[in-house]
Structure 1
Amino acid sequence: MAASALFRRRNRASLLCFLLALLAHGPALGSAQTPVYACDVAGNPALAGFGFCNGSLPWADRVSDLVGRLTLQEKITFLVNSAGSVARLGIPRYEWWSEALHGVSDVGPGTRFSSNVVPGATSFPQVILTAASFNTTLFQAIGKVVSTEARAMHNVGLAGLTYWSPNINIVRDPRWGRTQETPGEDPLLTSKYATAYVRGLQDRDDGDKDRLKVAACCKHYTAYDLDNWKGVDRYHFNAVVTKQDMDDTFQPPFKSCVIDGNVASVMCSYNQVNGTPTCADPNLLAGVIRGEWKLNGYIVSDCDSLDVYFKSQKYTKTPEEAAAKAILAGLDLNCGSFLGDHTEAAVKAGLVDESAINKAISNNFATLMRLGFFDGDPRSQLYGKLGPKDVCTPENQELAREAARQGIVLLKNNAGALPLSPTAIKNLAVIGPNANVTKTMIGNYAGTPCKYTTPLQGLSAVVGTTYVAGCQNVGCGTADVDGATKAAAGADATVLIMGTDLSIEAESLDRTELTLPGQQQQLVAQVASASKGPVILVIMSGGGIDVGFAKDSDKIASIVWVGLPGEAGGGAIADVIFGAHNPGGRLPMSWYPQSYADKIPMTNMNMRPDNATGYPGRTYRFYTGETVYTFGDGLSYSKVSHELIQSPAKSLSIPLHADHYCRSSECRSVDAADAGEICGSSGMMDLHLKVQNDGEGMKGSHTVFLFTTPPAVHGSPRKQLVGFEKVWLEAGGEAVVKFTVDVCKDLSVVDELGNRKIALGEHVLHVGDLKHSFTIGV
């Protein structure tokens, strides 16, 4: 996304000049200062006469008043992330670019840390692990903490109010380097994450829906999930996507983000979709985001994406054309300087009218007004009392540890090897290149954490340990087999902490291999053979790993995936391994064998399989090949059973007019628009389950998944998640989980033309081993 290498290179010189100027003329670098805000009526009473500073007026009137006072040249300065200032109107410079993917980050220039004021912020697990909790309450709680810390930093001049997070792209391919930033491969989970996290960031404690705590941004719109794979990069890639795949896979999370989350911003991506750059596509921007979904906010470009589609994609002949196309498509804000450099020339050439610029900056100003930027000093507003004391609080840091605990996934546990006994284990061998890491745990788009607890520190706090790195780094060019096997042979149990880091999978870096890097697999195998006690393989990674060798090995008792677990990851790992926490995480993406990467080009965007070519499809919803582990996999230390206590009827009939085409025997589906009352209360079906923890002495959380398998029409999914609930179960306890299934929303499918249809025939709802079949007819 925003921190593209291209943008960083171009702005390195200007950033250096900025820092030198700050040192020469401003407050000491890193020190606290006055927050940035407009309409300082207390300091300049003359500003009270401006309508845009009058908080009693409607937003539209205030915005109109402000835009009407600006010259064309001044307006253009508000089309870019480093927005201009207008001293005569009391408007200071504002930097739009801040990041908060999993904590307040200093990746964007709008936020920084101060060694003597706010040295760090709470760094939660990378999104892929948080998503593995399948806990929407947790998603929102994290967002609320992040926005509180952001507001606290804003009050001391260290942070902005507009945050370009979350990343809600679907993980179509396991090699994608940015998998770690996302909620995974499922549209429903991703949609629910987007809605909950955005509401956590944006919703105010006073319940005022017209105002924002901070402004979130859902990115990268759309069909963006390739960064740099075998010479194909995001700056040149044209994602060829069917209407069907667009509407049932790539678009739903963004639709939910805008409609259900009421997000303040959407960011368009670098790539083209079907031949048109997303940031220049009026159908995708003005048509869908602004028109169909009614975005209440602004549309921003990924950084330098206009420059990219002009220079790299050769989409227009001149930069003025490129600027005009973006504005006319519905873009409001440019991360970068392109619109600032070329918009005036575009207006003079007659390529775009000033009225279109007014419309764009009006959306930007309205967002800032909802944030209170034009209401004077934020320290006199709702969140004005927040400050450094509200950042990195013990409660916030504990939530970071709890989030990691809830996300950690137990994938294998032969003979109940885990949890280890903290009293029986006298010496634990801790081996691996990720055993004592810090920055690896927080992944990308991270700020400076409050503190780190490494896996080694977490485990060593429970029992005595012997530590051997085993590899110099995750690349593991040469493994220290002798040292590692010696440690394992003398220990009561061995924990191997392997995986990847940002040198293997990251923004601008997709993988070609799905196996453990370098000699890691060799090290694991030899240590497992030498160990006298149980061997626990811990995988720290953003994406899935082919660990088929370990899954099939009798020498490796347990496999645990810990994602990139954040600042408190080491403590959370120890909590799971030693049984202080009963693991309840489930995989939010499938793990594939290396053969997948050997055979399937990452550039093929089709979700559905093609029998004619042998193409197996994508994700658990359509993939027909073998997986190492699949979406939703995960174990716990308890045995949980499900019992169906209320189920829907065995058949459902859709009333149609006598002359409807679907009276013929060839009819396979009914358009949802023709389903009449079925798309109302009569189309709601209740399914109630009793969930019981049969474990002996282990309380914990459990995720109840409700999947559907629709009739095989229109290339429908083989299996699809339609609901999930997180429940807490005491040892031996039970709970009732209730799902209400909306036939038109949850059980419909998208046909080949992108129309939503209700498939006729047998539908199967399943939870675990339970299945309930029913038929929809006419």
Structure 2
Amino acid sequence: MSIHTPYDEINFMNYSSSAQRAILDGIQDEIQKAGDEMSEMMAAHSPNTNLEPHLLLKAIQALFDACVNYGQVMSIMCSYNAINNIPTCGNPDLLNGILRERWNFTGFVVKLLTDDGNVTMDTLNNAVRRLLKTKIELGMFDPPNMVEFNSYDFNDIENEAHLKLARQVAQQSICLYKNTNNNLQKAPLPIQNSAINKIGLFGIQSVQTDLLLGNYARSPDQPGITTILQGIYDQIDQNTTANCTFEQDIGYFVPGQAPIAVYNPGQCCALCSTVQTYQSMESEGRDRSTIDLPVGQYELVRLLKSVIGPNKSLIGILIRGGSIALHNLMDDCDGLIDGWYPGQLGGAALADVIFGSYNPAGRTPVTYYHSDEQLPPMHVMDLYPNSTISSLGITYRYFTGKPQIPFGFGLSYTTFSYANLQVKSSNVKACDLITGSVDVTNTGAIDGDEVIQIYIKYQASVPSPNVRLVSFQRILVQAGHTVTMEFTITPDYHAVIYDSDSVYKPTRMVEEGTLNIYAGGGQPDYYSGHLQQQVQITNAQNIDTC
């Protein structure tokens, strides 16, 4: 769990506080003695990062606060960089003031320690005491036959239920960004038309396995990893597409040269092309210098579309962890699917979406920028717009430019409409909870999940987000049916941060004024069917006194 710019090496490690809580619930529900660790507290992946209090508290500490107080993690790993010229692993305000005094953390901190003569015996004893306490709680000093983990074997891990869950997780994470070809009578996806008798697949990554797993993942033994190629083969074997044959080119593409293919792409009724980053350019210790895809991939997609023409569909499949610039992919691809790092059954899950046995409902958790020109220089961690460095800001909360794909966006094979956005009270005090509800109806012909998103906007006297997601819920809505989502907005979501003498001791205030609440299937500025309500905050108050 680290803080990164779009260029950084391990953006896929970023999670929202809601996602962190879900992960912790899953781990701690299955394994009671889970030694959960929060990785790289306050990391910014820059030798030194200067952060103002409003950024330190709003953008960063809230994420870690959720894990410490909600998840009761046992250990935390401090980052290797410095915050405001003080190394995080030696910062008493951070490790003691916030972590132990404010958040009441009782576990141990993983950090590099060098003995320069300034480490006291009391400090060393405290560190050893915390570490041994955790080992005792984990049963590391118990007899081996009393430790539950020692009884696990292969069948406990790679069982049918876990494999089914792996496929389900991959399915639910897949995002659909485009599904339009104006020259066809129906959407390009899902591929179901019996008239499609030949499908082509381009891209070496369609047969690669390691990229599907991403970083920090051990390759499973049995049944192994389902590649994109195998997933498509399996779907065709199941007669998902009648009378369909399949061709594939797995050669590398060289800019300026035609792809070496085993067939003429123009003979295909539909083409799928995989595009991706590589572990050699996006992994631990490897920051990117650009958000562009590796050389040749944009050209490959452009060439393929020119070969098959406007009356046949080209489906793009994205595999990678961080935000990328799509450039011509949004124009040349008729369908665009984002697989992220989908895991060992990612190929099967992607094929499920392509052939329609699963209706996609993923929403992008990052902003897609048009190009590097929309981003601040590498290692600049100021999230707000800054004209002195030609920065438009970063993340959906602070970015003032026009994104290529906005945070929270994703398409479905069905359609939804919203109605009856209600809040319990239109006037509330600063410390009050704001509760409400909204109805969503599946107006399409098939069942599908909808991700209902609640955002807020407000005017503040100090720097604050332009918009903020305060609640969301993924709900299955049957075709023709309506469901109701209830939501709660806590004061910390619309509190602002005032400057103080120490960035670690700021004043958090809820200000008096108007709070605009929006409900819909995406951000209010980019989702045309959103609803809006207003609530008046009748007084100002320090949130720490609530």
TM-score, with structure 1 as normaliser: 0.63
Instruction: Determine whether 1:197 maps to 2:31.
Output: no
Residue 497 (structure 2) aligns with:
750
Separation in structure 1 between the aligned mates of residue 106 and residue 154 of structure 2, nearest angstrom? 31
Separation in structure 1 between the aligned mates of residue 256 and residue 273 of structure 2, nearest angstrom? 13
Using the TM superposition, give the Cα deviation of residue 386 of structure 1 relative to its aligned residue in structure 2, in angstroms.
3.4
- The number of residues matched between the two structures is 508
Q: Secondary structure at the match of 1:246?
A: helix
Using the TM superposition, give the Cα deviation of residue 550 of structure 1 relative to its aligned residue in structure 2, in angstroms.
2.3
Tell me, yes or no, if the aligned pair for 2:421 and 2:532 is still in contact at 8 Å: no
Residue 457 (structure 2) aligns with:
709
Using the TM superposition, give the Cα deviation of residue 200 of structure 1 relative to its aligned residue in structure 2, in angstroms.
2.4
Tell me, yes or no, if the aligned pair for 1:644 and 1:690 is still in contact at 8 Å: yes
Residue 686 (structure 1) aligns with:
435
Instruction: Determine whether 1:176 maps to 2:8.
Output: yes
Q: Deviations 1:348-404 (Å, cap 9, x if unpaired)?
A: xxx343232221111111111111223323x33556653332021111111111111
Tell me, yes or no, if the aligned pair for 1:433 and 1:498 is still in contact at 8 Å: no
Residue 293 (structure 1) aligns with:
103
Q: Secondary structure at the match of 2:170?
A: helix
Structure 2: runs of 5 or more not aligned:
182-186, 237-244, 501-505, 521-529, 540-546
Aligned match for 1:373, one of 140, 145, 154: 140
Separation in structure 2 between the aligned mates of residue 480 and residue 456 of structure 1, nearest angstrom? 24
Separation in structure 2 between the aligned mates of residue 435 and residue 384 of structure 1, nearest angstrom? 37
Aligned match for 1:225, one of 35, 44, 49: 44
Equivalent residue runs for 1:499-510 within 5 Å: 499-510=276-287
Residue 636 (structure 1) aligns with:
412
Structure 1: runs of 5 or more not aligned:
1-167, 184-189, 206-211, 227-233, 307-318, 322-345, 655-677
Q: Secondary structure at the match of 2:131?
A: helix
Residue 725 (structure 1) aligns with:
473
Tell me, yes or no, if the aligned pair for 1:410 and 1:585 is still in contact at 8 Å: yes
Residue 268 (structure 1) aligns with:
78
Residue 602 (structure 1) aligns with:
378
Q: Deviations 1:609-636 (Å, cap 9, x if unpaired)?
A: 2356543212110111221112101111
Separation in structure 2 between the aligned mates of residue 748 and residue 388 of structure 1, nearest angstrom? 49
Tell me, yes or no, if the aligned pair for 1:703 and 1:726 is still in contact at 8 Å: yes
Separation in structure 2 between the aligned mates of residue 452 and residue 398 of structure 1, nearest angstrom? 13
Residue 108 (structure 1) aligns with:
none
Using the TM superposition, give the Cα deviation of residue 320 of structure 1 relative to its aligned residue in structure 2, in angstroms.
2.7
Separation in structure 2 between the aligned mates of residue 213 and residue 182 of structure 1, nearest angstrom? 24
Distance 1:300 1:480, change over 3 A: same
Using the TM superposition, give the Cα deviation of residue 257 of structure 1 relative to its aligned residue in structure 2, in angstroms.
0.7
Q: Secondary structure at the match of 2:115?
A: helix
Using the TM superposition, give the Cα deviation of residue 774 of structure 1 relative to its aligned residue in structure 2, in angstroms.
2.4
Amino acid at match of 1:684: L
Using the TM superposition, give the Cα deviation of residue 556 of structure 1 relative to its aligned residue in structure 2, in angstroms.
2.3
Aligned match for 2:307, one of 523, 530, 537: 530
| CA RMSD after TM alignment | 2.1
Residue 546 (structure 1) aligns with:
325
Distance 1:280 1:488, change over 3 A: same
Structure with greater proportional helix content:
1
Q: Secondary structure at the match of 1:728?
A: strand
Equivalent residue runs for 1:300-339 within 5 Å: 300-301=110-111, 305-306=112-113, 319-321=114-116
Q: Deviations 1:59-108 (Å, cap 9, x if unpaired)?
A: xxxxxxxxxxxxxxxxxxxxxxxxxxxxxxxxxxxxxxxxxxxxxxxxxx
Q: Deviations 1:702-744 (Å, cap 9, x if unpaired)?
A: 11111111114311110011111111112222211000222x2
Amino acid at match of 2:248: Y
Amino acid at match of 2:189: L
Separation in structure 1 between the aligned mates of residue 384 and residue 30 of structure 2, nearest angstrom? 41
Using the TM superposition, give the Cα deviation of residue 256 of structure 1 relative to its aligned residue in structure 2, in angstroms.
0.8
Amino acid at match of 2:535: F
Amino acid at match of 2:536: T
Distance 1:564 1:542, change over 3 A: same
Separation in structure 2 between the aligned mates of residue 724 and residue 592 of structure 1, nearest angstrom? 23
Amino acid at match of 1:690: D
Distance 1:613 1:468, change over 3 A: closer
Separation in structure 2 between the aligned mates of residue 178 and residue 283 of structure 1, nearest angstrom? 27
Q: Secondary structure at the match of 1:580?
A: coil
Separation in structure 2 between the aligned mates of residue 732 and residue 263 of structure 1, nearest angstrom? 43
Distance 1:550 1:386, change over 3 A: closer
Residue 257 (structure 1) aligns with:
67
Percentage of matched positions with identical amino acids:
28
Q: Secondary structure at the match of 1:200?
A: helix
Separation in structure 1 between the aligned mates of residue 115 and residue 138 of structure 2, nearest angstrom? 32
Residue 419 (structure 1) aligns with:
190
Amino acid at match of 2:13: E
Equivalent residue runs for 1:440-459 within 5 Å: 440-450=211-221, 451-459=224-232
Aligned match for 1:277, one of 87, 99, 104: 87
Equivalent residue runs for 1:599-678 within 5 Å: 600-611=376-387, 614-652=390-428, 654=429, 678=430
Separation in structure 1 between the aligned mates of residue 198 and residue 235 of structure 2, nearest angstrom? 11
Using the TM superposition, give the Cα deviation of residue 431 of structure 1 relative to its aligned residue in structure 2, in angstroms.
0.5
Aligned match for 2:200, one of 429, 441, 448: 429
